[in-house]
Amino acid sequence: MSPAGLEAARFSAQLLTGPPARSVIEVTRQLLAVQGQDPRGARLAIRPRSAGLTAADVDAALTDRLLLISWLNRGTLHLVTAEDYWWLHPLVTPPLRTGNARRLAQEGVSPAAADTAVAVIEGALASDGPLTRPQLRERIAAAGVPVAGQALVHELMLACLRGIAVRGPVSGREHAYALVRDWLGPPPRALDREAALAELARRFLAGHGPATERDLAKWSGLPLRDARSGLSAISAELLSWPPQGSADTKSPDAEPDLVDLAAARRGSELPPPRLLGAYDPVLHGWISREPVLGEHREVITVNGLFRPFLLVGGRAAGLWSLSGGVIAEQRFGDLPADVAAAVAADAADVRRFLALA
């Protein structure tokens, strides 16, 4: 399989080619979990995968309880549908609690104090919620629990890991926390672990296939044995990549053991020029980012920040930023006139999406 063919298939899975999605929910469900630590980046992930939507539509879905943000895969904030939260949260969060406890201790928060913080969060959200982070900070501090430095973040994370709170409605410029039992209502019937791993593998491949078991393990933050278990459970739904009878043949340096959903219909074209936001999903889900970034490692900073970038011909072609409603580009090289025009048109669509036009 040629590298270009593999990447085209993944762009198709990511909804960067083919028919655009019609709703925020459709995009989020396809990708399963969208990194959400950068609020603008999470919203911008919806734009190139859909048509006619705006950032306000994302906020509306959050406020209407269709979407939420919580600490999930790899201990990172992710945007997911409310429906998927119920099975994904108990599957991927248990391994995160040890690291959370370690960080709380480093911030001077004892286990007893951490429990107090969670109790304060739960009580405040039950009586007065949803509440914003500054409002919860005041309540926790009033209980004598440290909130300086990163302490508050990890206290909020602990409440989310325990399934007590999530980031729910948008309140002005703040994303408020809500009590899970009030905001989402009673949970549906729980999936057993084997069924949840199978669903994880199935849904991961829907939005990231073709991929390997190691890609799934890295993206989910679960051990390799769990990735293998999930893929094994849906083996009847899979095919090796490239498909049997394909015009492509697997090159000697191709990724090993690539699989995809047999029912998936992948496109073969590359995306049009796009301005992708910070932490765009196209840079997550696979062990190697080389096919997209090439030599341009500056898209990811030394401290792990993923910068907004230009995607041209399926490759990173520059960086971009937004300040004062103005988009500034830093291209890695010259672009043909028609490509530059397409980039300018997509920049205009970014401003439309963010209601800056």
Is the pLDDT confidence value at 155 over 80?
Answer: yes
Q: How far is CA 84 from CA 68, 74, 80, 286, 301, in A?
A: 10, 16, 6, 21, 31
Is pLDDT larger for residue 171 or for residue 315?
Answer: 315
What is the Cα–Cα distance from 232 to 229, expressed in whole angstroms? 5
Lowest-confidence segment of 47-51, 223-227, 238-242, 313-317 by average pLDDT: 238-242
Is the pLDDT confidence value at 252 over 50?
Answer: no
Question: What average pLDDT does this structure show over 111-124?
Answer: 98
Is the pLDDT confidence value at 1 over 90?
Answer: no
What is the Cα–Cα distance from 274 to 277, expressed in whole angstroms? 10
The residues pairing with 81 across neighbouring beta strands, listed in sequence order, are 67
Whole-structure pTM value: 0.94
Question: What average pLDDT does this structure show over 4-13?
Answer: 94
What is the Cα–Cα distance from 47 to 20, expressed in whole angstroms? 10
What is the Cα–Cα distance from 201 to 261, expressed in whole angstroms? 10
What is the Cα–Cα distance from 182 to 177, expressed in whole angstroms? 11
Q: What is the mean pLDDT of the chain?
A: 95
Structure tokens at 237: 């739904």
Is the pLDDT confidence value at 321 over 90?
Answer: yes
Torsion sign across C-alpha atoms 211, 214, 219, 225: positive
CA angle, 309 as apex, 36 and 75 as ends, to 5°? 25
Q: Determine how β-strand 274-276 pairs with β-strand 259-261.
A: unpaired
Question: What average pLDDT does this structure show over 107-130?
Answer: 97
The pLDDT, as a whole number, for residue 255 is 52
Query: Are the C-beta atoms of residues 239 and 259 closer than 8 Å to each other?
Result: yes
Q: What is the pLDDT of residues 85-106, one digit of tens each?
A: 999 999 999 999 999 999 999 9
